[in-house]
């Protein structure tokens, strides 16, 4: 699948194994303002405004307030001005469709099978759930795509991760990807694009596939991809920017040629059994530091390598953990349900099922991934479930996941989070982040500790 998409987009071959790729879709957020500034200074225009789309997500306050920091406020306002001058579709602050760039891209039908898609954000891998080759790029690369609609890249290798079987009750897509990263390690995917395959992946909804692909970067991979199928096509049909009429029929025919051919060879193969995956949480400062909730804090002395032992010692010190302690004994101070990993409607439904009839015993936020997700959740009454349980129902945005907007946890606060990264200071200076699924985060909120959601069933 990767080879097919790559070959269809090669414009020219260059030195050192690099090729010039044509880019079908370019998504922007506030971090693109510096590239816009350089473009304006040089007197250049965006080459394909019809393939370029922007939103504000990282610096938007999800409390509904306007940022008081002039630099933060200025980035959002500048993005609005640049997109207006260039004639780029902008899902701005007052647009009901605004939200996290990796939520609104699929939601609007901008993300399609077989395309190349880039964004100045590492979690662009999310869009690979549709069979797109999608990856994050840096600021100078953003400017290059703006100007030329192309990008120089070195061809990566391809790894297939196959997950077979039916997931047990209480086990979710977030648990699957955490288990995969724990197996591969934070650098196990370096130099590769990962194709996720197997009956477990095929049985997933598009929201679930997006969760899996989203965290490919946490295993060091360049991108993650899932073969498009009837689930993909049903999701896309009728989306605002998806093909229509005769265009839909032509697109569908092309999309069906995207999946890997039978017998395709991969540079590396990894297999997992769904039956061996349990509700999972992280204990350290890397997504690879993940264990079943039934486990205990590991002992660095048992690590096989000295470098790994040293990193575990540092992680445990930062996280304030003692080797051998049951994970279910760890008390939490705060809960965050949101991010481009787990802020879609299905995620909010899963959390609400756990919360209903219970009450949060620690501060807990629910941050929808887009204005449309928020509106749909409210139409189902999910907001009322959360509010009745003492959760804070907020506006769409990246929020505490990135901590760039003042929405952070306090020093030494332990956070049960549905986000994608848990490195030191990610959610605030000194904050201690445990990654998990929305259902598991909801369970932590109503118990005040890391909890096996399966014990709350019914």
How would CATH label the architecture of 2-255?
A: 2-Layer Sandwich (3.30)
Tens-place pLDDT, residues 174-223 = 999 999 999 999 999 999 999 999 999 999 999 999 999 999 999 999 99
Residue 228's pLDDT is what?
98
164 pLDDT tier (thresholds 50, 70, 90): very high
* pLDDT above 90 coverage of the chain, percent: 92
Task: Return the pLDDT at 9.
Answer: 98
Q: Is the pLDDT of residue 458 over 70?
A: no
Q: How confident is the model at residue 64 (pLDDT cuts 50, 70, 90)?
A: confident
Mean pLDDT on 47-69? 90
Identify the band that residue 168 occupies on the pLDDT scale cut at 50, 70 and 90.
very high
pLDDT in tens, 108-136: 999 999 999 999 999 999 999 999 999 99
Task: Print the SS3 string covering the chain.
Answer: CHHHHHHHCEEEECHHHEEEEECCEEEECHHHHHHHHHHHHCCCCCCCHHHEEEECCCCCCCCCCCCCCHHHHHHHHHHHHHHHHHCCEEECCCCCCCECHHHHHHHCCCCCCCCEEEECCHHHHHHHHHCCEEEECCHHHHHHHHHHCEEEEECCEEEEEEEECCCCCCCCHHHHHHHHHHHHCCCCCCCEEEEEECHHHHCCCHHHHHHHHHHHHHHCCCEEEECCCHHHHHHHCCCCCCCCCHHHHHHHHHHCCCCCCCCCCCCEEEEEEHHHCCCEEECCCCCCCEEECCCECCCHHHCCCHHHHHHHHHHHHHHCCCCCCEHHHCECCEEEECCCCCCCHHHHHHHHHHHCCCCCCCCEEECCCEHHHHHHHHHCCHHHHHHHCCCEECCCCCHHHCCCCCCCCCCCCEEEECCCCCCCCCCCCCCEEEECCHHHHHHHHHHCECCCHHHHCC
Share of the chain above pLDDT 70, in %: 100
pLDDT value at 88 more than 70:
yes
Please give the pLDDT value at position 294: 98
Of the given ranges (64-78, 79-93, 231-245), which has the lowest mean pLDDT? 64-78
Q: Model confidence at 23, in pLDDT bands (50, 70, 90)?
A: very high
The boundaries of every CATH 3.30.499.10 domain in the chain are: 2-255, 280-453
- Residue 152's pLDDT is 98
Q: What pLDDT score does 404 carry?
A: 78
What digits encode the pLDDT tens for the residues 396-419? 999 899 887 889 999 999 999 999
pLDDT in tens, 214-251: 999 999 999 999 999 999 999 999 999 999 999 999 99
Mean pLDDT taken over the chain: 96
Q: Looking at the predicted structure, is the pLDDT value of residue 347 above 90?
A: yes
* Domain 280-453 annotated CATH 3.30.499.10: yes
């Amino acid at each position: 699948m990767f080879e097919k998409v790559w070959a269809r987009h090669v414009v020219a071959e260059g030195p050192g194994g690099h090729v010039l790729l044509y880019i079908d879709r370019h998504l922007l957020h506030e971090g693109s303002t510096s590239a816009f500034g350089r473009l304006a200074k040089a007197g250049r225009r965006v080459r394909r405004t019809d393939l370029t789309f922007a939103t504000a997500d990282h610096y938007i306050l999800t409390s509904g307030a306007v940022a008081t920091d002039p630099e933060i406020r200025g980035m959002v306002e500048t993005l609005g001005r640049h997109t207006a001058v260039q004639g780029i579709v902008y899902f701005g602050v007052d647009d009901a469709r605004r939200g996290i760039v990796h939520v609104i891209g699929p939601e609007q039908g901008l993300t399609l099978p077989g395309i190349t898609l880039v964004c100045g954000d590492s979690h662009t891998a999310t869009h690979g759930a549709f069979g797109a080759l999608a990856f994050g790029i840096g600021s100078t690369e953003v400017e290059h795509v703006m100007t030329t609609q192309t990008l120089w890249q070195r061809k990566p290798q391809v790894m297939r991760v196959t997950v077979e079987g039916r997931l047990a009750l209480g086990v979710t897509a977030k648990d699957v990807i955490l288990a995969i990263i724990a197996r591969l390690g934070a650098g196990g995917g370096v130099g590769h694009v990962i194709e996720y395959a197997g009956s477990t992946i095929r049985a997933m909804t598009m929201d679930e596939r997006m969760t899996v692909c989203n965290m490919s970067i946490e295993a060091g991979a360049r991108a993650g991809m899932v073969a498009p199928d009837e689930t993909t096509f049903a999701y896309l049909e009728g989306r605002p920017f998806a093909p229509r009429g005769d265009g839909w029929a032509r697109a569908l025919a092309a999309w069906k040629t995207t999946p890997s051919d039978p017998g395709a060879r991969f540079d590396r193969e990894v297999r997992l059994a769904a039956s061996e995956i349990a509700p999972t949480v992280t204990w350290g400062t890397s997504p690879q530091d993940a264990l079943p909730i039934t486990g205990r804090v590991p002992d660095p002395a048992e690590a096989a390598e000295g470098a790994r032992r040293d990193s575990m010692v540092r992680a445990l010190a930062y996280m304030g953990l003692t080797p051998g302690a049951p994970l279910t004994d760890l008390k939490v101070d705060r809960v965050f349900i949101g991010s481009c990993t787990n802020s879609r409607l299905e995620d909010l439904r899963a959390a609400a099922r756990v919360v209903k009839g219970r009450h949060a015993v620690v501060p807990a936020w629910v941050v929808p991934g887009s204005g449309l997700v928020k509106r749909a959740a409210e139409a189902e009454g999910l907001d009322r479930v959360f509010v009745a349980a003492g959760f804070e129902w907020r506006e769409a945005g990246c929020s505490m996941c990135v901590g760039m907007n003042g929405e952070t946890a306090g020093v030494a606060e332990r956070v049960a989070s549905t986000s994608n990264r848990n490195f030191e200071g990610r959610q605030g200076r000194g904050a201690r982040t445990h990654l998990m699924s929305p259902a598991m985060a909801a369970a932590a909120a109503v118990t005040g500790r890391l909890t096996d959601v399966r014990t709350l069933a019914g």
